[in-house]
Structure 1
Amino acid sequence: MQRAIPELLDVDPAQALALAQTCCALAGTPGSSEAAESQVLLGRALLASGQQAEALAAFCRSTEHFERLDQPIAGAEAHSLAGKLQLDLGRFDEAAWHLEQAVRLAQNEPEGQGIQATALNHLAIVNHHQGRVTEALGLLHQALQLREDEQHVTGQIHCLINISNIQMWFGQYDEAVRSLTRAYTLYKTQPADLKLETPILHNLAHVHSMRGDNDLAIEVMEAAYKSAVGSGDRRMQATASLNLGMCCLDAQQFDRALEYLQLALKLSRELRYQVGELSALDSLGNLYSQTGELALASQTIREALVIALEIGSKQGELEVRLQLGRLHLRQGELDAAHQELNAALELAVGIQSVKEQAEAHEALAEYFERRGSLAEALTHSRELTRIERELFNAERDRQTRNLSIQFEVERARHDAEIYRVRTDVEHEGRQRAEEQVRVRTAELARAQQEVVTRLAMAAEYRDDTTGEHTRRVGRTSARIALALGWPEGRANVLGIAARLHDVGKIGIPDSVLLKSGKLDSAEFRQMQTHTLIGARILSGGRSELLRLAEEIALTHHERWDGSGYPRGLQATQIPLSGRIVALADVFDALTQVRPYKTAWSTQEALDEIRRQTGSHFDPDLVETAVEVLTQPDTHSGDWGEEPLPLEQEDASHVLTVFEQLLVERTRELEQARQEAERLALTDSLTELGNRRALEQRLERTLRQSAESRVPFTVLSFDLDGLKAVNDAQGHAQGDRFLQAFALSLTQAFGEAGLAYRIGGDEFAIVTTQPLDEAALRDRLGQVHEQLRCQGFEDASASMGHAQYPQDAQTAGDLLRLSDQRMYHRKLSRRRGMH
């Protein structure tokens, strides 16, 4: 079902959405790969259906699932999709965050080149919008190199198109034409694709327009518009309409310009494409200004300014403020003109937009001249002359600038090459490390088997000088397990573990263990304790081998009818491993010579085992065991390592066994202690520190700050609406709400300090970083945005803080004061106060 969804996205978005929703419903637990992949498909289907907010929420959910599943490639793709959608919505900061995550996750993965290149391409667009043009060009060249390495022609074309955009921005028209020519040459090697052809024609027309050849620009742009309409891509059609309208406006074909610009505005609004809406409004404002419709021009340009500020587009804001300032000048509104033009000049300087700096100086010179401030007017005129000289009379300056940019690009390429080499080396190193881990794991497994072998021999040697009894019991147990259908690997582990069944005899005195006559009742009770001693020796082991050995040591003297020891278990209360080894142990004891008996034949031993069916032994197990033991042993090799006869070994080997066992048990106990301590300080739902951990951190920070005189701040948070979520959607959703808030809090305040969940919907952070009110509000805003990305659209939280030593001097007082301030703000918000 999942495979059908991508094929339906373009032809039947509604059907694709229905299938995606079904996949999500069938995927089951949110922690599975299927659930995460279904969320990605749901996001793509929602996007194809025009439901952008819902699509973004689905993509964000999928990024969380993939992170928990530790699937970096899938997570990178989900972040890339979320980042592209945020970019389309004009949310540049959020887009940058998602795209940077995509690059981070994909960069160390051999299969992640394509995802990394796509994310770098989109990240370059974000940087361009935010005025970091040189950085954008460097990112594009990194992406282009990745696409060339993987011979991805379409990806190369997209990179070259975006590179030409920046080259035009720098006034490098010849270089832009070369990039577009290279893109078009690559395009011709591929099957016809109007979606790919259209942006190439767009940019080529734009180059002609920037060179002043409006007729040729319109001709090429009309071809691009037809290509966009033919592609069926409404976003591309909106962009083509906008560009064709702008070309017509430059040629003063106002009627045609109005038609295409209004179409671009309509399509952009329908698609919620704010970047396109901003450009269309800006161009329409320019058109109305040129046609003398000043009131309409002012209204339209102000709408554009609102969008530019909302989405954080510095370039868009600059162009709009310039237009608005000139319009105010034209209408005689000098104070308003001065305000807008000053803001525009500051923006132009900030993003190094020389052309707009010249326009701002020109308009400001006119403003001061009309004010009668001739000195200020002369200053701006001189700045205008200086910039014009740089722009139009200094090919040398342009070449110098180009060389500087080329240097930056080459440095970026060099850095990218170094990074790629380093990544390759890290990948090779990781592979070598993984191989070493595999080898070491195998060595540890063999060492553990040797410890088991020697420990079994040490125990058995006390009443069996050859140690062969334990080996035979292990082999017989493994054969029976194999006949019961156990996998060979697990049967082998049982065969090794079975050899430790009597390890507890180490703790039985020789006077009892080696007594040739019948044991009295006290001696028999003492002998029975070897099961408990053995289990205690083996307890707490983390490996399957030691856990199974402990189980066998404790239960191999239990009987089917409940008359065994040490716990009197009966029937299936006895673990199957214990039942198997009990039968194998008795069979070997019957068929071997002992001080108190002669060896029985195999048939005699099996008859005795049959006789005790239902009393001593599991009836079903007896049937299988009889069938196995009447057949020859055809298994090649031994179950586990072949032990050396003890008399041929140095006695120090036995000591070594116990030393190794002591080291292993000490290490495991320390690990258990550390894990117990971690659990005692961790909130199990969110994996954040709990209240006890916070109190320890507060006391520690308080001591350090008292000595160093460095202040610190306690932040308290209360998650709004948890009870409503629990009541309306159930506690499972409430738990997800808490987990989402914990994740958002960690992401927003991560470098400032650790977050703690101190009870219910209350959280806290201790930070030594200086954070003023504005910075704290900004961080809390990031928390709210992250919650929205995770599907909790109406989520909010209240925050309060207290600082040491200004507000309080004890840990309790700091926490209490920050709580009070947090609840005061919570109540104030409910009452509509600020």
Structure 2
Amino acid sequence: MAQEARTLAQAHQALSLEVQAAFTLARALLSLGQLGEAVQMAQAGVELASTFDESTLRLEGLRLLATILREQGDLNQASSYLEEAALLAQQANLPAAEADCLNQQAGIHHSKAEYAQALDKLTKALTLVRIQGNRVAEANVLNNIGILRTELGQYPLALEAFLEAYQLYRHEEHSPRNRAGNLASIGNLYMEMGNFEQADRYYELALAEIRRTQERFIELQILQLIAELAFKRQDYPRARDTYHGVVVASRELGLERILLTSLEGLAKAQMALGEPQVATQTLLEVLELARSKGWRATVLDVLLSLGEASIELKDLHQAQVYGLEALELSRQAERKRSTYLAHRLLARVHRASGEYLQAIEHLEEYHRLEREVFNEESERQRQTLMNQLELERVRNEAENLRLRTELERQAREEAQAKVFQRTQELEFAQLEIVSRLALAAEFRDDATGEHTYRVGRNAAMIAKELGWPQHEVETLRLAARLHDVGKIGIPDAILLKRDRLTVGEYELMKDHTTIGARILSGGRSKILRLAEEIALSHHEHFDGSGYPRGLAGDSIPMSGRIVAVADVLDALTHERPYKRAWSVAEALAEIKRQSGRQFDPTVVEACLAVFAEVTVDVEEHMQRLDSDLSLSVQLEKAQLGWADEEIELLKQNFEQLLAERTRELEQARREAQVLARRMELMAHTDVLTGLGNRRAFESDLESEVARAQRVGYSLSVLALDVDTLKQLNDTEGHERGDALLRTFAQAMQECFFELGRVYRIGGDEYAAILPYVDARHQAKILGRIETAILNTKSQGFPTASVSSGMASMPDEATSDGDLVRLSDQRMYQDKLERRRAREAKPDRPHD
């Protein structure tokens, strides 16, 4: 019908109708998966619209072209059309179209892994559609935000966005395509979370929804997700059959991207089913297609997969060819992960060929690069963990202050019980983060991360020999593990240096004692106080030559004297990047030599009694205590004379242990992130109203101003003051005043939810940050404030009154300080005018 309408319009020279018919036909071709024809038809419509003054039609065509080209995989050309469309929408003052362009731009940023830019575009689009009250567009933007947060691993925020979008999809007029996309996105989230049953349920719902339409492209995408889920659940036959069906359909429709990804999935399933020959043929087809399109990343991944398949087929020569090409490509692309995977593949090839020397060389390079990638990620997380600990300290102080205030209003016994309980919870949270920091710090220069546990064990055994009570021995065992937590603040270049440190480097290394003490300071639990004492004193020498304070003799805490011996004993008997491993006998002899100089003679005697004066050989004794000795030491012994088969077995064990340790550290990192997020929220939340507090307001405003200046949008700050609070507190009590503050906060949240964020910054003062709002919107803002006041009055506060003032940038201000000062001035001017108006009417109550 669209083709007939176009022909009829051409016959009557109705240009506008001809353009509309061309776009309708392009959409139909897109739904049928005929992307090449859809592009040609849309381009014809755009060119025709350019010949006469129809900017709206031209804008529609540019957006349609961008959509089709994105489906086709041509992101660069799609981006070009989208930029042109965004400029046209801005010139024509069409905010709905501008929001759609922002949404599509975010999609392109997302495809390029430019997540910050993508989230910025989506946030701006969400603000535009909410100001317009466009619920349909709002649902689509929320769904896209959920997709982005899923990929960032922000699962709670992703689920919140998806569910908000889901409610809008249910109650608004949406197409089955949109509903199917939302259901599939929720399925993706559950798959990432490991909840396969829920993922399968939502995928099937999405498939049923899309099959109500003729949109084969979306249907095939959902089928790919179902196949991927089947593979993860190890249902390989279902995965193979589903992928095969997608391959057949995508080849018929000419959907090359879907064809390529489904062929890769099919090859994985075939390999899992023990069909390497068939998988190789499938991968060769993928390789040919990827080379022809210039998709280098895909070529690299396929070469690695072909190498693995060739090893299974015993074709070692071909496997080496694939591995060498993959290694060269990955180096050119500077992709470290692909580089170390190529080294691992070549190590397998050489090992299977009996070329053990070459295999070891590639294996060493594999472990070096893998460790390098891991360390880079750890370094990025280090500063975040330090900041989270500082937030915990601030929250601890704020929470204690709140509880002390509560003591004035409640019975002392009840308040003291709450303080004790809350302090215990806070100390446990702080200990958890510090423990994670200690693990992260130790993992940087100890491959197993077991050094801290051994120091704790050694210190506990020495303390027991010295006659410490058992409960104090156990406290020392835990606290001693945190002795080197300050190393988290020492750069890798110094911490892992193999050569002798320079004077300047040594001075910097010595700072780890004071850094550790600061990290642990402020704790109220016995463990944290003891850990702080140990961190600061375990490098002091008995003769006064140590650091950081140069203490001597009994002025050094006993805990520090014990851990000093326990730490040196373990450090000497284990290999590090800068030293060999000493024998236990050598280490004990050195500790004895340092008695009275570096170490307390009493502690040295106890150490010798525990580790030297035993009925069995000292080495055997330590071996029994160190039953989980690092496999790296065993490998070193193996290379001195063990058989090749034993060496290979130990290498396999080493690789397995490294993978296990990596998973443990990743789990620890995630737990620390969740904990820190909880702490950060509490530190930035007003306890009474649940709104953001002054700290949150200042932090958010600084970020928002920087973003507004960078991107180029307007930004306003709204200052508010509840006029009647003091009068209410004086006449009806502070509980009634608190109720007014909560009620007004809720009313403001409801009225300004679509425009920005509301904060309670202290007492009766509130503030709001309003992106994309300027002086032109002042009437609308005042209307929303009035609605909030009316809602507050209807909740039992008939005299509620609020003064307000607003300032905007860039028209009126250039910094966050300017915005705050100007909005405050206008708010106080409004308050003054309101007071004068009330004074002119003496029959009305005063605030």
TM-score by length of 1: 0.43
Q: For the pair shown, which has the larger CA radius of gyration, 1 or 2?
A: 1
